[in-house]
Structure 1
Amino acid sequence: MKILLVDGTVLGRKTGAILEEVKTYIEQFDSKLELEILTFANYEHQIVDGRPFDQYNAGMQEMVRKIEEADGYIFATPIFQGSIPGVLKNAFDFLNPKALRYKPVSIVANGGTYQHHLVVENQLKPILDYFRALVTPNYVYTHASHFDADNHIIDENVHERLQELARVFVKYCALSADLPKTPIDQH
């Protein structure tokens, strides 16, 4: 199974740091999963505006292809102004509605206030429900105080929650293996 760990922002390093930790934990539970970190900052983003897909730049086409071809996902997002970043929502807007169907998904997020964890519940989970993704019940929200100056996670409870998220995600991967996936039409 190919698992895409999606760093859904073009700013900052905390979401990437969280994904590195999650990647390590997933490898401990199932070393056979093929893991790749997809970093939005490595792409020149274009807004979905209705033009034919082949008229978007090569980077956007590659990013969408990678997302649609993966078998499971860890989505990482910062919370800015009480919302997910526009580039993450824009990426979802590119996807075929069947692209994430019955594929396992876990969520990690970080923000500047403790209340912003509700963005995961109120914005990100409904989007993933629309795609009929198999969203794990546990997500991990981190706060700036959970990191040191070099963006390493220093909170032991966060490490424990990330490890548990990885364990549950691997179980969801096994569960999803036998579920029928609907083939999607190419763009």
Structure 2
Amino acid sequence: MKVLFVDGTIIGSKTGAVLDAVEKYMKETGNEYEIERMDFADYEHQFVDGRPLEQYNEDMQKLVQKFEKADAYIISTPIFQGSIPGVLKNAFDMLHPHAMRYKPVSIVANGGTHQHHLVVENQLKPILDYFRSLVTPNYVYTQYDHFDEDNRIIDEDVNNRLREMVRVFGKYGEMSKDLCKDTLDND
């Protein structure tokens, strides 16, 4: 299964640190995941304005292709000002509505305090529901004091929740194999 790790921000390092932990726990499962990492900071982003895909720069086209070719996703996002970053929403706006259909998605998010965890419920999950992704129910939200000064996760509860998220993600991956992802309907 091709799993795309999406670091959905162009600044900061905590979202990447959480993805590092998720990758470690995925490797511990023994499942044969083919993990590819997409760090938005490595791309030249353009504002999505409705043009055809071929009119955007090479990086934007590559971003879309990576989403389309993946079988599943781990999306890592910071929470800024009570919202997901604009660059992440902009990337979703580039995708065809069927690009993520029936593909498993797990979410990890990071904010400065515990108060912004509901951004996942109120913003990110509805976007992924629009794509009809198979969103695992157990996202993991981290905050500043879950990390040490080197951005390693030091909170054992967070590590346990990440392990459980990976376990559930694997089950969703198995379930998705039986679902037709290429079905085009009139929605």
Match of 1:9 in 2: 9
Q: CA deviation at 1:52?
A: 2.0
Match of 1:78 in 2: 78
Residue 36 of structure 1: SS of its match in structure 2? Answer: strand
Q: Does residue 175 in structure 1 map to residue 175 in structure 2?
A: yes
Deviations, residues 1-32 of structure 1 (Å, cap 9, x unaligned)? 10001000001000000001101111222431
Match of 1:89 in 2: 89
Match of 1:44 in 2: 44
Match of 2:112 in 1: 112
**Could you tell me how far apart the structure 2 residues matched to 1:16 and 1:105 are?**
17
Note the aligned Cα RMSD (angstroms).
Answer: 1.0
1:8 partner letter: G
Residue 23 of structure 1: SS of its match in structure 2? Answer: helix
1:159 partner letter: N
**Could you tell me how far apart the structure 2 residues matched to 1:132 and 1:111 are?**
26
Deviates more, 1:174-183 or 1:97-106: 174-183
Deviates more, 1:88-97 or 1:52-61: 52-61
Match of 2:23 in 1: 23
**Could you tell me how far apart the structure 1 residues matched to 2:104 and 2:52 are?**
29
Structure 1 unaligned segments of length 5 or more: list them.
Answer: none
Match of 1:150 in 2: 150
Identity of aligned residues (%): 66
Structure 2 unaligned segments of length 5 or more: list them.
Answer: none
Deviates more, 1:107-116 or 1:174-183: 174-183
Q: CA deviation at 1:183?
A: 6.0
Match of 1:33 in 2: 33
1:172 partner letter: Y
Residue 116 of structure 2: SS of its match in structure 1? Answer: helix
The total of aligned residue pairs comes to 184
Match of 1:68 in 2: 68
Deviates more, 1:23-32 or 1:154-163: 23-32
Contact 1:17/1:152 (<8 A) preserved: yes
Residue 148 of structure 1: SS of its match in structure 2? Answer: coil
Residue 35 of structure 2: SS of its match in structure 1? Answer: strand
Match of 2:128 in 1: 128
Contact 1:30/1:170 (<8 A) preserved: no
1:122 partner letter: N
**Could you tell me how far apart the structure 1 residues matched to 2:94 and 2:180 are?**
23
Contact 1:78/1:110 (<8 A) preserved: yes
Match of 2:53 in 1: 53
TM-score scaled by structure 2? 0.96
Where do 4+ consecutive residues of structure 1 move more than 3 Å?
Answer: none
